[in-house]
Amino acid sequence: MKYRDKVKTAKRIVIKVGTSTLTYENGNLNLKRIEKIAQTISDLVNNDKEVILVTSGAVGVGKNKLNYSEKPKTPQEKQACASVGQVILMNIYSKLFGEYGYSVGQILLTKDVLENEKRKLNVINTFETLLKNKIIPIVNENDSVSIEEIENISRFGDNDNLASVVSVIVGADLLVILSDIDGFYDKNPKINFDAKLISEVLEITKELESFAGGSSTDLGTGGMQTKIQAGKIATNNGCDMILANGENPSIILDILDGKNIGTLFVSK
């Protein structure tokens, strides 16, 4: 079976959407896109797929609500932004998924939770129960408690990593990462006109890793390096990963039709 054909058969899918997809450059919510995300995921669930959404955007959205003119610098400010922004995000997801007849459940994670076998099992049970009841689990890092200074709490730091770990613990077939770039390139396409998109990655080699540059946006934390890290975690654990542009989120339906979109990191 061709690799893209296998993608068509994916049943359990984790979709990660970054801050740059969810918000305008000024930090306000891009409602048209969020609406499309809710519609697309609802359609997948209508078609008997199991979908988990990993969302960023809490810090970015909260920053605007708190009228900070720039990215919060101190952990305290960041945590306050996350706390406010997370509610705004969930409120809008709840409303938009509700229009298609679906309820959402919030799961906020920190790394230490998944490092503890018992708590990890609790989280897995929650995912399973939500999915069984056709409720859309919406995941983010618990940013308002996850600064490193707090004892016993360790951070994922970025949602690419978080999404790949979630994919592994729930045994997902496919992780789709939507970003502000069409896929993984052999050079940074923003500064190199001859950069070529790599359609399929069978192995994450040192050379491939060297193609990854810095962070993609000001408000998000991810960049190509975190995508590569996520790709390693996913593919080493039997989960395919696709990196694609979230400009038009219905692209997810084309991806699941097996179309040659974005970069497919093929699982081992």
Judged by CB under 6 A, the residue of 21, 23, 40, 140 near ligand GLU is 140
211, with CB counted inside 10 A (0-12, 13-18, 19+), is middle
Of 59, 109, 233, 256, which lies in the binding site for ligand GLU, with binding defined by CB under 6 A?
59
Q: Are 166 and 141 in contact (CB under 8 A)?
A: no
CB 30 to ligand GLU: min, Å: 14
Residue 138 CB, nearest distance to ligand GLU (Å)? 11
What is the Cα–Cα distance from 45 to 101, expressed in whole angstroms? Answer: 11
> Around Cβ 57, how many Cβ atoms within 10 Å?
28
Provide, rounded to whole angstroms, the least separation between the CB of residue 55 and ligand GLU: 7
Instruction: Report in angstroms the alpha-carbon separations of 113 from 16, 122, 124, 226, 233.
Output: 20, 9, 11, 21, 18
Is 263 a binding residue for ligand GLU by CB under 6 A? The answer is no
Residue 30 within binding range of ligand GLU, rule CB under 6 A: no
Check binding of 158 to ligand GLU (CB under 6 A): yes
Is residue 57 part of the contact set for ligand GLU (CB under 6 A)?
Answer: yes
Sequence-distant (6+) residues with CB within 8 A of 75 are 147, 149
Is residue 216 near ligand GLU by the rule CB under 6 A? no
223 counts as binding ligand GLU under rule CB under 6 A: no
Pattern of binders to ligand GLU over 85-124, x per CB under 6 A? ----------------------------------------
The reply on whether position 50 binds ligand GLU by CB under 6 A is no
Instruction: Assess 18 for contact with ligand GLU (CB under 6 A).
Output: yes
CB of 152 to ligand GLU, least distance (A): 19
Q: Does 60 bind ligand GLU (CB under 6 A)?
A: yes
Residues 174/7, Cβ–Cβ less than 8 Å: yes
**And the tokens for 156?**
């994922």
Rounded to an integer, what distance in angstroms lies between the CA atom of residue 13 and that of residue 53?
A: 9
Number of residues written out for the chain: 268
Give the separation between CA 177 and CA 54, rounded to whole angstroms: 9
Q: Could you tell me the two tokens for 260?
A: 């040659």
Tell me how far, at minimum, the Cβ of 222 lies from ligand GLU, in Å. Answer: 5
For position 222 contacting ligand GLU by CB under 6 A, the verdict is yes
User: Quick one: which of 214, 210, 209 has its CA closest to 181?
Assistant: 214
Q: What is the phi/psi pair of residue 116, to 5°?
A: -105, 115
Closest distance to ligand GLU from the beta carbon of 239 (Å): 19
Figure out which of the listed residues 30, 52, 143, 184 binds ligand GLU, where binding follows CB under 6 A.
143
State how far Cα 111 lies from the chain centre.
16
Whichever of 79 and 235 has its CB closer to ligand GLU, that residue is 79
Q: Tokens at residue 232, please?
A: 């390693």
Q: Which stretch binds ligand GLU (CB under 6 A): 57-65, 106-114, 130-138, 197-205?
A: 57-65
Q: Which residues bind ligand GLU (CB under 6 A)?
A: 18-19, 56-60, 140-141, 143, 158-159, 220-222
